[in-house]
């Protein structure tokens, strides 16, 4: 979720239907501890109304985990999560994230250093189930033996990237291993949850303590609200962003643009915003052309101008109907 789950998008999501916990973009411990810090530290920026919020970090130098663990605690985060699952080659080639699955000794050192630095702050791990083939039982058992507060299992190997179906039996496996060992670690499942029905089914079949949702929020900005309603037994249909009027969808996009400008100004490249266009501009006639028009913009002002032109055209269309 690099350049995606920043404080701006997290706040938009909370307004649409707040999840129980939010997690930051994954943040390099190397970047935080070197000359790149002024740029990287922005990944850990958060607002007062975002709690509970967990900082996610990555890297492969224990001493830097110790230092960053202490800093995250002092910054006021509610937890510290270690990314041991990112499959991006430029990351794994450095021996970090998903590559740690084949280096348990270093993984153990990193967890110990993070726990020492974080003090009383809960430390968790998010991981996959193997590099090329699953080694779920061995790897998940090892992580549980580190006495972490939570373990998030994404049921794919590193080699799978986002392809194929996530193997949720490995989440159930983690629950069994945890219970057999009598550990307090919370097990969280992750992968391909796109609807409230997906959430309920996966929670029931695995016995997981929680479900992490990432990409599913791009298909329905109201997904967390839908999940909350389903979990609490609501009888009304789950909210769907696609059912909004086009002007309401664009209002959410305008809100994102304004909040991004207010928060980051010129500190972030405007093009980062283009990752979100299809989240809002979708499921109405002409949406594809509007997406193309927004993608050609280079500034907040240009994007607003495009949205205004389309809004005016819609008004004229309504008057002539």
Active site residues: 86
DSSP string of 272-292, one letter each residue = GGGGGHHHHS-SSTTHHHHHH
CB atoms < 10 A from the CB of 144, how many?
19
Spatial contact of 194 and 216, defined as CB atoms under 8 Å apart: yes
Q: H or E segment at 258?
A: helix 246-264
Residue 92's Cβ-side half-sphere holds a number of Cα atoms within 13 Å equal to: 21
- Using CA atoms, how far residue 66 sits from 62, 63, 96, 115, 215, in Å, is 6, 5, 16, 8, 31
Token pair listed for 14:
């909370």
Backbone phi and psi for residue 53, each to the nearest 5 degrees, phi listed first: -135, 135
DSSP string of 54-89, one letter each residue = EEEEE-S-HHHHHHHHHHHHHHT-SEEEEEE----H
3-state secondary structure at position 153: strand
């Amino acid at each position: 979720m690099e350049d995606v789950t920043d404080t701006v998008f997290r706040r938009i999501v909370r307004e649409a239907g707040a999840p129980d916990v939010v997690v930051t973009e994954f943040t390099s411990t190397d970047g935080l501890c070197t000359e790149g810090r002024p740029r990287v530290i922005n990944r850990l920026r958060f607002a007062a109304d975002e709690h509970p919020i967990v900082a996610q970090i990555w890297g492969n130098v224990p001493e830097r985990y110790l230092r960053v663990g202490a800093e995250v605690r002092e910054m006021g985060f509610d937890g510290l999560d270690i990314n041991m699952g990112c499959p991006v080659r430029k990351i794994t080639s450095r021996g970090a994230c998903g590559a740690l699955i084949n280096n348990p000794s270093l993984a153990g050192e990193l967890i110990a250093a993070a726990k020492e630095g974080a003090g009383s702050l809960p430390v968790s791990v998010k991981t996959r189930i193997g590099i090329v083939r699953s080694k779920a039982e061995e790897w998940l058992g090892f992580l549980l033996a580190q006495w972490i507060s939570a373990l998030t299992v994404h049921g794919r190997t590193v080699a799978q990237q986002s392809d194929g179906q996530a193997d949720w039996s490995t989440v159930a496996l983690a629950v069994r291993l945890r219970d057999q060992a009598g550990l307090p670690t919370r097990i969280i499942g992750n992968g391909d949850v796109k609807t409230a029905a997906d959430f309920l089914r996966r929670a029931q079949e695995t016995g997981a303590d929680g479900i992490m949702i990432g990409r599913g929020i791009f298909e329905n900005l109201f997904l967390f609200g839908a999940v909350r309603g389903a979990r609490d037994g609501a009888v009304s249909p789950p909210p769907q962003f696609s059912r909004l009027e086009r002007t309401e969808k664009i209002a959410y996009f305008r809100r994102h643009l304004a909040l991004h400008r207010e928060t980051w100004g010129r500190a972030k490249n405007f093009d980062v915003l283009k990752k979100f266009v299809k989240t809002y501009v979708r499921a109405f006639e002409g949406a594809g052309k509007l997406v193309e028009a927004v993608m050609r913009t280079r500034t907040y002002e240009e994007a607003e101008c495009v949205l205004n032109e389309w809004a005016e055209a819609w008004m004229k269309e309504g008057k002539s109907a």
